[in-house]
Structure 1
Amino acid sequence: MAEMAARRALADDDNASWTVGSETELADLALESVVVFDLVGNIRYWNPASERLYGWPAIGSVGRSIAEISSNAELYVRQWHALLREGTWSGLLERRTSWGGKVTAAVRQTVRCDADGRPRDIVEYGQSADKERNLSSLPEVNLHRQAAASWELDTSHIRPLLDKMGDLISRDLVAEVARRPDWTDEILKGTCIVNVNDRAAHLVGAHAGRDGMIGQSVGAFWPRVGRSVLAELIAVVATDRSATTNRKVAPDGILRDAVVTVWRSETLQCRDTVFVAVSGATDDDRSFWYLRANEERYRKLIHRLPTALLQVDSGRMGKVLEELKAEGVKDLDRYLDDHPELITFANEVVRVVDANQKAVALFNGTVPADFIRPVGFLYAAAPETTRRLLVARYEGRRSYSEIMKIRTFDGQTLDVRLSVTFPASPERLDVTLIGLEDITERLRTERRLRQLETDFTHAARISILGELATSIAHEVNQPLSAIVTNGETSLRWLSRDDPNLVKVGELTTRVVSSARRASDIVKRIRGMAAKQEPERLPLDLNEVVDEALVFVRHDIEARSIHLSVRLAADLPTVLGDRIQLQQVIVNLLVNSIQAIEQGSGSLRRIDLSTSSEDGDTVVFSIHDSGCGIAAGDLDRIFDCFFTTKDGGVGIGLAVCQSIVMAHGGSIRVSNHPDGGAQFQFSLPTQSASIFESFPEQTPE
């Protein structure tokens, strides 16, 4: 690489007097071929018209001897001596083309001298002398339509493999080479791009541009079609089999009737440097400049959008997925279980080709070029995202979105919403857009809000427990009294001269049962009082109702309120937090008790029921015989701090609504036709629930 860089720098220095300024600009626009040589015939300048005339790109021509492409070495020597002797020469010259044909050119050559009269360089002007002959030498394609896409490549990193392949090729064992397709990937991955021209960058570099391609492997940009052809031609040329070789390749969706030419410059004497030219007509009938202008407008639009956007070249991966479909793979998710290497492959071959300024700022980068690389870095903090994206695209979805984590270039971890728009036929297969929205602060705020809600809910539970202190004490005292009574009776039986051990055993069993009951009551009280994160588990709502009644049953009985409980059999399970749902039911029961106490009616009744609707929803209903709710208050009853009670705080029903909604349900209130208020809340069953877990509680 250092040798090649030095060679290019030397060529630039030698040609500085010609390639700087308006002369170069004018020569680039000339319709005639303009070539500048040094005095020994090495090319110092090669304009676009020369590329079209001879097929050799400037990348592979500058620094090369014109003798390499002269079809008649003896004629070339005589002509060159005549030029140096006379100072000018004009006539017909026959030169080899990059596609293996010959071109007859009418040229005019002039020796230029410096201020002291000493020869400095030679300038040549040329044009086709026989267009029909030139066109007939082409392999069924008009290569004069546009210049070739050209590459300069370094193969030094794969020299041992090339030598091995060269040995097989020299012994005409090409079949052995063909049986090793892994060599193709190894060659293309190990061959480094030293330089490309604008046409190559436009055709296959997407928005990476020349700067984004240089230094990368040629395999990262070369189309899937023709990869084996390129690898074989590189091996042939780089192992001294031939200085120049070419091959026609099948259409790849970019060029049709394309010809790949690979050569090694004999003048450079560097066997690790090879040049590639790809000639052909674009598949799109619109002009190169029209497409380029449209893409430039599109790129400017992307860069000005206020959302972080990455453009991704997913062409190679798209074709792999199409091949899997053709092979009959139906379930890609299951296929990836057996072939996890496909995920790694996707992270390597799918490349980011452009990023807008918002994306640069999001990742704390410097320039968009920081992103021009395989897409794997994007999913480093969320490796499972790649799998889900592959499955989404395979299933034919047009877009996909999820919340994931990214790691910025300076090591920070951010929460972002990823939004991907996949390509769809008949659009280009390589255009995939990735949008990234930074939601780190929003999630942090939501976590703090959930923490406040948790604290708020906990405070409401403590408040309820305070109101139910008498009832709770009664519930605990009942099993404790039973324990004392049974324990004392057991002692009396044991103190007799003839202890009745059978009776003592029965009493001891009752003591144990009462102790367990007291323990269960204490556990429920502690659970209600404890401050803990919500936990979603499959629950039987009927069991939750029974547990909630433990807290209020004594208050109901003490106030001579008739309690009717009708719990539906075979109730579907719900996904929820046991303590929070108990809190909702207890709160509604306490409200009903207080409404009955405030009323003046003789009927004192609370009706509880559970039911199922369509198998997808479970409903809890409570109806009391109180005075009901004023019509003007029905719409405000769940508002925070709204209360109709003397000394009330107004947080109980607001908390109930918050808990029910967090479970994916709804709560409503109405005045019952028979008098009093009726509250109902509904929850989705476990099978119908879309809330499989509470939002992640990430520590600050």
Structure 2
Amino acid sequence: MAWIHATGGVQSPFFLLLYLLPVGAAFRHGFGEAIVASVLFAAGYTGLLAARGELLANLSEVVPRLVYTFLAAGIGLLIAREIVEQAVGRLELAARARAEDARLRLAAIVDSSGDAIVSLAPDGALESWNARASEVFGWTFDEVHGKPAEILLAPEQWALVADILARVRRGEIVEQVETVGVRKDGRAVSLALVASPIRDAGGGTSGIALIARDVTERKELETRLLVSERMASVGTMAAGVAHEISSPLAYLRANLDAVADRLRELGPSLSRERIDGLTDPLGKARDGADRVGKVVGDLRMFSGLDDDRNRPVDLRRLLDSIVDLAWNEISSRARLVKEYGEVPPVHANESRLAQVLLNLVVNAAQSIPEGQAERNEIRIMTRTGAGGRVAIEIRDTGRGIAQEDRARIFDPFSSNNPAGPGMGLSVCHSIVTLLGGKIEVDSELGRGSVFRVLLPSAPARS
């Protein structure tokens, strides 16, 4: 105001500078400050002109100037508002872009995870999952969306699922629970689960996150290792039993032969009836000793599990030994028919192949109820198959295998024998595969089964 007063009052050009005051206030502080600045300018300016005696005489100029002051404040407010809105909009867009980028990165990490990641509603309904979950469980997400989480697990695990969900709803984190899941096709899958609550902004539980790792292969390897260790123990025990029996059995055979020879020497001095009455029991005892000797030989063959070398194996001799070992299982359940075709020796590890064939023969016998041997049959066949492979078939007239079970009959923990551990056929499949062969099954529920082992023949000796 001093400048305006010093430079001519109403004629001073510096009144234009005072328009900047409300505009600056509008930019700097906002609406309220811009009005106050405009009022102060108007009051100060009119007061100055009134003091100089110029107000009334120049009212036609002063009034527009005051109006322009308020207009300048209004324009300043509009411009400031537009600038601020644009700046805020750009900041919000940048923030949303960063958030979306972070969300997409997180979604990509989740979707590319090697573990199945599943999101559940608080009531346990499936809300979302990643690509790995579809691979593990065999379902598409559209097929399971909104369904209860129990459909992913075996029925005997449902109580465990209910307990896990209840604990997570209370805010707990449940770590490394091993359970058994079920794929869409019904196959079992071993899982290691981690379950944790999904928190909302208020800290409450808005959902449940499940991370499921497929540990089927690890569990299968562990079980096979256990089976291998057990078989090694059985082999060691069998070798020990065979060794302990061998010496007294040799003495028994030698003494039986000596008694028989002595009886022949005494023949002229004894009646024929008397000699027959002694030699017949001796002959039966000698036959029993020979049978024990054959079993000992079979045990020695079966105990060689630590020998990993493949060599030519005579199937006829091996199968006869298997039948001897399994005879107690077979004799009370079925007639045994041997149909050995002329086949070359196979290239295999004899002990491991014996393990496979013994398992298949015992399974065939156990699929038939006891006490009906005259009505049932176990047939063991050998023939030359396609491609020069040797085929071994073990047929039975037992209970058979349902169609839905045949696809997973060689999976770990899948068993058609209620008394079995569910690993025998899985181990058989692994051994045959390692021998370069193939194992197949044909079966019909109530009609029996055919297990077919295809093995490469031994190379001809030069």
TM range (shorter): 0.3 to 0.5
TM-score normalized by structure 1? 0.28
Which structure's residues are more often helix, by fraction? Answer: 2
The structure that has the greater radius of gyration is 2
TM-score normalized by structure 2? 0.41
Which structure's residues are more often strand, by fraction? Answer: 1
